Amino acid sequence: MAFQKDFLWGSASAAYQIEGAANIDGKGPSIWDIYSNIPGNTFKNTTGEVAIDFYHKFEEDIALMKEMGLKAYRFSVSWPRVLPKGKGEVNAKGIEFYHKVIDTLIDNGIEPILTVYHWDLPQALQDEYAGWESREIIKDFTNYCILLYKEYGDKVKHWVTLNEQNIFTTLGYLLALHPPKVMDFQRFINVNHIANLANAAAIKEFRKYVPNGLVGPSFAYSPIYAKSEHPEDVLAMENAVELQNYLWMDVYANGEYSPLHINLLKKIGINLDLRDEDIELLKDSRPDFMGVNYYQSTTVTTRERKQDEEEKLTNTVQSEAKNLPTDKLFVNCKNAHAKYTDWGWTIDPIGLQVSIRRITSRYNLPILITENGLGAYDTLEENGEIHDEYRINYLKEHVEAIKSAIEDGAEVLGYCTWSFQDLFSWLNGYAKRYGFVYVDRDEESEKELKRYKKDSFYWYKNVIESNGEKI
């Protein structure tokens, strides 16, 4: 059998995208509470203020997870819900909420996978020292982690440190699509380096407080293809692989930057503020697994050889960033052989097999797929059914790809689809749905937030029951 007996068939979510209850029970504001309330920042000005109200409906949702037979549920803790100012006074009600979620999951036979940080930084830390731009955050982030380790360490085995560090730094500081809406390559690299240090510090503390647990970051991995066999495209691919994949994963897995990264950055005029004490901190912070969020592959070419036009989409918020310093080394382009979603993301299941193999081959770490899914428009029929065969096809092909990668020799611990319930999508409102469970709300109205099982719900139930034999 390809899938190990205790394979974690799971699903994932993030606090800001599901909880709602933004100002309830002592929670402090996060950067997303503030950012999404500024008109123009999100699609149709949607926010996660109510989201899908998991804060009040978690028991109903977990009952559905149990009915499906889900083995694991990945969720994140909202930092400002437990520490309203990011540090100092602890909000007992916030701590209690996550105890209740974790206990309910465990009572229903579902393993909790806890993500420490899924982008909702306390606004207080942004105001005090510009959040991730200051080394001050390393101490505050580590203390926040220690608080969670002490509270939940004896109940939760699998922990994710930073969700998609590469995405929150890129969208926040390079493409100006997330808070604090900056477009500056040097600041992006500075922030990313500080996040690396925070991640390493959190893993070091984890070893002390949760000695029997497993920890790793979740990286948004996109395997990079060359547009053609032209050697210039191949070199562009090599550049992109270094600066879009290995720049992060080498630091996670090996605790150091490779000379290639430092020099490629220098070549484009960017300096890495790597100090002696940083080298020390990054050492010995190897994770137990590489968390992988896989949605799509990326194809690159050179600036000179690029032919296709940038696509303008009306169903999302797009970046206005132009002329990135990396354009000298590679530029993204269309893949002529791939299908695309309504939001312009490639649909490429083989890319997942390629991802797992490349990561295994370079790092020899077990892999936990922490996210994978299809964002699509769904139709709620009058009889309460949702026929999402497109989602079933997408997931089926990706499960097959994982199976093949395991047969090729990779170790995969589990598969968390994105997502269990429909939820708030940062830049796409509520129309881009990912769940097995349809949540009846849209951008205009929260309605009653009623839950409906989609066809994919029954499909995944079967997959889990047969441990991946019946897909």
Site membership for ligand BG6, residue 10 (CB under 6 A):
no
Shortest reach from residue 45's CB to ligand BG6, in Å? 16
Residue placing its CB nearer to ligand BG6 in the complex, 43 or 452: 43
Binding piece for ligand BG6, criterion CB under 6 A, among 103-111, 144-152, 162-170, 387-395: 162-170
Q: Which of 59, 164, 205, 446 does the annotation list as catalytic?
A: 164
CA distances in angstroms from 439 to 108, 252, 434, listed in the order given: 22, 36, 10
Q: Which of 163, 244, 296, 355 binds ligand BG6 (CB under 6 A)?
A: 163
Residue placing its CB nearer to ligand BG6 in the complex, 227 or 391: 391
Shortest reach from residue 418's CB to ligand BG6, in Å? 6
Shortest reach from residue 202's CB to ligand BG6, in Å? 18
Q: Which of 120, 140, 164, 378 binds ligand BG6 (CB under 6 A)?
A: 164
Residue placing its CB nearer to ligand BG6 in the complex, 112 or 153: 112
Shortest reach from residue 284's CB to ligand BG6, in Å? 27
Q: Which of 371, 448, 465, 469 does the annotation list as catalytic?
A: 371
Q: Which of 257, 428, 430, 464 binds ligand BG6 (CB under 6 A)?
A: 428
Binding mask 177-216 for ligand BG6 (x = CB under 6 A): ----------------------------------------
Site membership for ligand BG6, residue 326 (CB under 6 A):
no
Structure tokens at 117: 């940080």
Residue placing its CB nearer to ligand BG6 in the complex, 175 or 220: 220
Which conformational region is residue 464 in: left (phi greater than 0), alpha (psi within -120 to 50 degrees), or beta?
A: alpha
Q: Do 425 and 359 touch, CB atoms closer than 8 A?
A: no
How far apart are the C-alpha atoms of 356 and 336, rounded to whole Å? 23
Residue placing its CB nearer to ligand BG6 in the complex, 163 or 299: 163
Tell me the residue number closest to ligand BG6, measured at CB.
425
Q: Which of 61, 111, 371, 422 binds ligand BG6 (CB under 6 A)?
A: 371
Q: Which of these, 404, 390, 317, lies nearest to 352 by C-alpha position?
A: 404
For the question of residue 411 being annotated catalytic, the response is: no
Shortest reach from residue 90's CB to ligand BG6, in Å? 26
Residue placing its CB nearer to ligand BG6 in the complex, 14 or 281: 14
Touching ligand BG6, residues 406-425 (CB under 6 A): 418, 425
Touching ligand BG6, residues 372-401 (CB under 6 A): 375
3-class secondary structure per residue, the chain: CCCCCCCEEEEECCHHHHCCCCCCCCCCCEHHHHHCCCCCCCHHHCCCCCCCCHHHHHHHHHHHHHHHCCCEEEEECCHHHHCCCCCCCCCHHHHHHHHHHHHHHHHCCCEEEEEEECCCCEHHHHHHHCHHHCCHHHHHHHHHHHHHHHHHCCCCCEEEEEECHHHHHHHHHCCCCCCCCCCCHHHHHHHHHHHHHHHHHHHHHHHHHCCCCEEEEEEECCCEEECCCCHHHHHHHHHHHHHHHHHHHHHHHHCCCCHHHHHHHHHCCCCCCCCHHHHHHHCCCCCCCEEEECCCCEEEECCCCCCCCCCCCCCCCCCCCCCCHHHHCCEEECCCCCEECCCCCEECHHHHHHHHHHHHHHHCCCEEEEECCCCECCCCCCCCCCCCHHHHHHHHHHHHHHHHHHHHCCCEEEEEEECCECCCECCCECCCECCCEEEECCCCCCCCCEEEECHHHHHHHHHHHCCCCCC
Q: Which of 432, 451, 453, 454 binds ligand BG6 (CB under 6 A)?
A: 432
How far apart are the C-alpha atoms of 136 and 197, rounded to whole Å? 11
Site membership for ligand BG6, residue 355 (CB under 6 A):
no
Q: Which of 8, 14, 251, 374 binds ligand BG6 (CB under 6 A)?
A: 14
Q: Do 11 and 456 touch, CB atoms closer than 8 A?
A: no
Site membership for ligand BG6, residue 47 (CB under 6 A):
no
Binding mask 216-255 for ligand BG6 (x = CB under 6 A): ----x-----------------------------------
Q: Which residue in the block uniquely carries the two structure tokens 């037979």? A: 69
Binding mask 289-308 for ligand BG6 (x = CB under 6 A): ----x---------------
Shortest reach from residue 247's CB to ligand BG6, in Å? 18
Strand partners, 9: 415
Residue placing its CB nearer to ligand BG6 in the complex, 17 or 199: 17
Shortest reach from residue 221's CB to ligand BG6, in Å? 11
Residue placing its CB nearer to ligand BG6 in the complex, 335 or 372: 372
For the question of residue 280 being annotated catalytic, the response is: no
**Which positions are annotated as active-site residues?**
164, 371
What is the contact surface with ligand BG6 in residues (CB under 6 A)?
Answer: 14, 17, 163-164, 167, 220, 293, 371, 375, 418, 425-428, 432
